[in-house]
Amino acid sequence: MNTPLNRHSNILDFALSSLLRRKSKNLSLLVVYTLIVFVIASLIFFVQALKREAAQVLKEAPDMVVQRMIAGRHDLIPARYGEQISDIRGVRSVSPRLWGYYYDQAFGANYTLLVPEKQLLEPGSIMIGAGVARNQRIQTGDMLTLKTSSNAALLLTVQGIYPSSSELLSSDLIVLSAEDFQAMFNLPPGQSTDLAVTVANPREQVTVATKIAELFPDTRPILKSEILRTYDSLFEWRGGMMVVILAVAVLSFIIFAWDKATGLSAEERKEIGILKSIGWETSDVLLLKFWEGIVISLTAFLVGVVLAYVHVFFFSAALFEHALKGWSVIYPQFRLVPVIDAYQLTVLFFLTVLPYTAATIIPAWLAATVPPDAAMRS
């Protein structure tokens, strides 16, 4: 029975046979196509999962961080600034933050040294991130030696290591007591790195920040919403590496489309001529080319997306690791919580499947409108 379904399955059979006749060309095309979809889908999955993670965990960040600026640079902030800021109406609390960086010459690693708001550790004890433990090859109970600003050795005992599930936050952290921080960096009395400000009503944050900026023109208040926005724009397409990856993908698609749109090979044209001479209609030929395009592009899309998911969420985006690691000695080993953004996958589908299919049909339509004998002779 000649139902529309039968017609499509017959033409699909013919399209698959036609593709298999040029097996090596079409297979290599499929592999490259799948690879491009895989890279773009991996990026989408990675970036979305990272943004979701940042948005979820950083919502607990301080409402506002006030930095002091001197000569365009972030400088230490005096305690009296905090006292006056806490008098502003709407401010619930102000706590000085003590944190800084430490470059370990022996291992070539940068650590972030931080003092918690509430005393969690006795002087001489530290908590470290899993990245620091890996880098220094130390465990709980071991000693870590840091060199102070006066070139003396400061011996610290590792009281605990932050779990690997928190590496995305704590990998390079060395959490220590205020006394040890002071011994390390010898800060002038009554100074801190910056101030964490809590505002009673979240809707008053901007007003409070404005008042702080007016009261202390040499300060820079950074709102929590601005912290979150920074991570929302991370890996934006304008970033250098993203531009390169996207440009490579777009150029590859242009080459595919160009290859298809510049016309069919003599063999393909002859095939269309023969098909028309044995009674195929132009619409049948177009349907044949449509199915050829769909077989390649849909397979590449589906396989590419599945492989990208496995790559990002089961193998921690291993292929991106070197690009992300850069010159860092400490690199967090983290596994992202999977997120699928249906909207972005739909956009990827329309950007990959449809243009290729269209580019396959147009030259076939041009060839199919030529009389069969002329097509066969050409």
Partner 1 sequence: MRKSVVFSLFTALNVVLIALVAVHARHSQAAATTARRERAELVRTLQLTDLCLFTEARYTRHPAMADRFAPFQDHPGAMEHFPSGSLVTPPSKRVHEHSP
12-51 positions binding partner 1, by CB under 8 A: 12-13, 16-17, 20, 50
Report the residue from 42, 171, 177, 360 that binds partner 1 according to the rule CB under 8 A.
171
Site stretch for partner 1 (CB under 8 A), options 30-38, 81-89, 104-112, 252-260: 104-112
How far is Cα 346 from Cα 147, in angstroms, rounded to an integer?
A: 54
* Interaction residues for partner 1, span 245-284 (CB under 8 A): none
Closer residue to partner 1 (CB): 166 or 366: 166
Site stretch for partner 1 (CB under 8 A), options 77-85, 182-190, 305-313, 363-371: 305-313
Closer residue to partner 1 (CB): 172 or 180: 172
How far is Cα 77 from Cα 85, in angstroms, rounded to an integer?
A: 12
- 112 interacts with partner 1 by CB under 8 A: yes
How far is Cα 338 from Cα 321, in angstroms, rounded to an integer?
A: 17
The pair of three-digit structure tokens given for residue 261, joined into one six-digit string: 């749109």
Task: List % helix, strand, coil for the chain (3-state, nearest 5).
Answer: 55, 20, 25
Closer residue to partner 1 (CB): 348 or 375: 348
DSSP, residue by residue, 112-172 = EEEE-SS--S-TTEEEE-HHHHHHHT--TT-EEEEE-TTS-EEEEEEEEE--GGGHHHHTT
Closer residue to partner 1 (CB): 154 or 298: 298
In sequence order, which residues have a C-beta less than 8 Å from that of residue 223 and are 6 or more positions away? 63, 64, 205, 206, 209
- 162 interacts with partner 1 by CB under 8 A: yes
Report the residue from 155, 241, 251, 266 that binds partner 1 according to the rule CB under 8 A.
241
Closer residue to partner 1 (CB): 339 or 376: 339
Closer residue to partner 1 (CB): 201 or 210: 210
- 347 interacts with partner 1 by CB under 8 A: no
Token pair 């028309």 is found at 276
Residue 198's nearest CA partner among 90, 305, 314, 78 is: 90
Angle between helices 282-313 and 23-57 (to 10 degrees): 40
Report the residue from 30, 168, 351, 362 that binds partner 1 according to the rule CB under 8 A.
168
* Interaction residues for partner 1, span 188-217 (CB under 8 A): 194, 196, 206, 209-210, 212-213, 217
